[in-house]
């Protein structure tokens, strides 16, 4: 029997939380590389805010996809809490609201340090945790999931982290945000690649539903490789470039094996999250040794 706590853990989707943790980690590393001191208090507040928003997004996604028929108890991928009956829709909405309230607390504390830009970043992020799958224009149902992740869990998250630390908007944060965003978007693309048939039935017009599996597989390959190539724009980055390129090649070969014409293994989602973590680990080691 699945306990209540395990049900909430399933709904939180731990494998996806790297998309919230890595941008803050990476942004703090870049802050140090650019010669600034890191405030651990601000870093922790930024990290906790990002995690709360990610979990709220997952809760909303769980309950809304179940209501729209995109997730069912017979789905091929990981168990979904609402569709499988582990948690009620009401409980999921309450859980999502609670997570957003905690993110709001983090935002208020950051507001004192950096002022109105925190509001400009925070309000769209709070809304889109719901608007990703809900509201009048749900991004995930319009084929905009990957773009959303690149913009919000890549560019905004990394540049925002660096801004919180330094008070500056720096081009290095934009490049790094694109790198992190692409690897995070691979998670969404892989998930949707697997769920093509279910999403078609629910009229969830993801990129793979619109384009088909072959073009989206090519997009996944591209988003896997591009971050390693972008390392070259940073000064004296050859060791990081070599490590990132080896990682990209390994995961590209894994994708070629697991991205089948009729679907993909659920293992690839976890492996894609691992790639994101290893990429920033390589960044960390490179910066620590230089």
Q: Residue 67 is inside which H or E element, if any?
A: helix 40-68
DSSP 3-state assignment of 14?
helix
pTM of the model: 0.92
What whole-number distance in Å separates Cα of residue 17 and Cα of residue 210? 27
Mean pLDDT estimate for the chain: 92
Q: For residue 58, how many other CB atoms are within 10 A of its CB?
A: 27
User: Residue 255 forms beta bridges with which residues?
Assistant: none
**pLDDT of 75:** 59
**pLDDT of 228:** 96
Longest dimension (CA), the chain: 54
Domain limits, the chain:
4-289
Q: What share of the chain is helix, strand, coil (3-state, %, to 5)?
A: 80, 0, 20
Closest CA to 221 of 267, 275, 265: 275
Quickly tell me which residue has 């945790």 as its tokens: 129
What whole-number distance in Å separates Cα of residue 150 and Cα of residue 185? 6
Q: Are 96 and 64 in contact (CB under 8 A)?
A: no
CATH no. of 4-289: 1.10.600
User: Residue 263 forms beta bridges with which residues?
Assistant: 260
What whole-number distance in Å separates Cα of residue 27 and Cα of residue 198? 36
What whole-number distance in Å separates Cα of residue 117 and Cα of residue 113? 10
**pLDDT of 76:** 60
CA angle 207, 50, 245 (to 5 degrees): 60
> CA end-to-end span of the chain, whole Å?
51
Angle (deg, nearest 10), helices 4-12 and 89-114: 60
**pLDDT of 71:** 67
Alpha helices per DSSP H over 34-156 = 40-68, 89-114, 116-131, 145-148
Closest CA to 265 of 204, 182, 193: 193
Q: Which two tokens stand for residue 54?
A: 């990610």
**pLDDT of 236:** 82
Q: Residue 259 is inside which H or E element, if any?
A: strand 259-260
The residues, any chain, with a CB within 8 Å of residue 147's CB and separated by 6 or more, are 139, 185
What whole-number distance in Å separates Cα of residue 9 and Cα of residue 208? 28
Regions of the chain with pLDDT less than 70: 1-2, 71-77, 265
**pLDDT of 77:** 63
What whole-number distance in Å separates Cα of residue 238 and Cα of residue 49? 33
């Amino acid at each position: 029997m699945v306990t209540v706590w395990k049900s909430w853990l399933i709904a939180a989707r731990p494998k996806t939380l790297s998309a919230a943790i890595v941008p803050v980690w990476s942004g703090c590393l870049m802050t140090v590389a650019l010669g600034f001191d890191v405030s651990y208090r601000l870093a922790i507040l930024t990290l906790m805010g990002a995690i709360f928003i990610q979990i709220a997004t997952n809760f909303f996604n769980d309950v809304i996809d179940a209501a729209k028929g995109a997730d069912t108890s017979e789905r091929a991928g990981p168990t979904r809490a609402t569709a499988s009956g582990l948690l009620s829709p009401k409980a999921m909405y309450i859980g999502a609201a609670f997570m957003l309230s905690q993110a709001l607390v983090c935002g208020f504390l950051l507001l004192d340090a950096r002022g109105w830009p925190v509001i400009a970043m925070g309000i769209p992020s709070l809304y889109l945790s719901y608007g990703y799958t809900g509201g009048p224009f749900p991004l995930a149902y319009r084929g905009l999931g990957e773009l959303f992740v690149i913009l919000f869990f890549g560019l905004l998250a990394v540049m925002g982290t660096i801004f919180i630390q330094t008070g500056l908007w720096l081009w290095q944060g934009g490049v790094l945000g694109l790198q992190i965003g692409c690897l995070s978007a691979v998670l969404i693309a892989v998930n949707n690649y697997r769920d093509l048939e279910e999403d078609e039935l629910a009229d969830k017009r993801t990129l793979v539903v619109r384009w088909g599996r072959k073009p989206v597989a090519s997009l996944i390959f591209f988003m896997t490789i591009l971050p390693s190539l972008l390392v070259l724009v940073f000064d004296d980055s050859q060791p990081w470039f070599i490590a990132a390129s080896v990682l990209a090649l390994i995961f590209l070969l894994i994708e070629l094996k697991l991205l089948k014409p009729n679907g993909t293994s659920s293992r690839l989602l976890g492996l894609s999250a691992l790639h994101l973590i290893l990429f920033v680990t390589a960044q960390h080691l490179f910066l620590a040794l230089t």
